[in-house]
Amino acid sequence: MPFIRLFMNLLYPFAKRFIAGPDLKTAIPNIRKIKESGYFSSIDILGESVSTRQQAETAKMEYLKLFESLDSINHSFDFSIKLSQLGLGIDREFCAENLRQLAEAMGNHTIRLDMEGSAYTQGTLEICEAVHRTHPHIGQAIQAYLFRSKNDVRHCIENKISVRLCKGAYKEPSDIALQSMDEIRTNFLELAYQLLKEGHQPAIATHDESLLVKLLDFITQEKIAPESFYFEMLYGVRRDLQKILKEKGYRVRVYIPYGKAWLPYTLRRLVEKKENLLFVITHLFRETLGLRKLH
Ligand code: FDA
Q: Closest Cα to atom 2, ligand 1: which residue? A: 272
Is residue 265 scored above 50 in pLDDT?
A: yes
Whether 238 is in the pocket of ligand 1, judged by its Cβ within 6 Å, is yes
The pLDDT, as a whole number, for residue 276 is: 81
Q: In ligand 1, which atom is closest to the CA atom of 181?
A: 3
pTM for this entry:
0.93
Whether 177 is in the pocket of ligand 1, judged by its Cβ within 6 Å, is no
Q: Which of 25-39, 106-120, 156-170, 279-293 comes out lowest in average pLDDT? A: 279-293
pLDDT digits (tens, 9 = 90+) for 218-231: 999 999 999 999 99
Is residue 77 scored above 90 in pLDDT?
A: no
Is residue 295 scored above 50 in pLDDT?
A: no
Let me know the angle formed at the C-alpha of 84 by 81 and 86, rounded to the nearest 5 degrees.
70
Whether 166 is in the pocket of ligand 1, judged by its Cβ within 6 Å, is yes
Q: In ligand 1, which atom is closest to the CA atom of 82?
A: 28
Is residue 290 scored above 80 in pLDDT?
A: no
Compute, in angstroms, the gap from residue 232 CA to the centroid of ligand 1: 10
pLDDT digits (tens, 9 = 90+) for 242-257: 999 999 999 999 999 9
Q: Closest Cα to atom 26, ligand 1: which residue? A: 115
Compute, in angstroms, the gap from residue 268 CA to the centroid of ligand 1: 9
Compute, in angstroms, the gap from residue 33 CA to the centroid of ligand 1: 22
Whether 168 is in the pocket of ligand 1, judged by its Cβ within 6 Å, is yes
Compute, in angstroms, the gap from residue 166 CA to the centroid of ligand 1: 7
Whether 78 is in the pocket of ligand 1, judged by its Cβ within 6 Å, is no
Compute, in angstroms, the gap from residue 167 CA to the centroid of ligand 1: 7
| Three-state secondary structure of the chain | CHHHHHHHHHHHHHHHHHCCCCCHHHHHHHHHHHHHCCCEEEEEECCCCCCCHHHHHHHHHHHHHHHHHHHCCCCCCEEEECHHHCCCCCCHHHHHHHHHHHHHHHCCCCEEECCCCHHHHHHHHHHHHHHHHHCCCEEEEEECCECCHHHHHHHHHHCCCCEEEECCCCCCCCCCECCCHHHHHHHHHHHHHHHHHHCCCCEEECCCHHHHHHHHHHHHHCCCCHHHCEEEEECCCCHHHHHHHHHCCCCEEEEEEECCCCHHHHHHHHHHCHHHHHHHHHHHHHHHHCCCCCC
Whether 114 is in the pocket of ligand 1, judged by its Cβ within 6 Å, is yes
Q: Which of 94-98, 112-116, 193-197, 265-269 comes out lowest in average pLDDT? A: 265-269
pLDDT digits (tens, 9 = 90+) for 115-172: 999 999 999 999 999 999 999 999 999 999 999 999 999 999 999 999 999 999 999 9
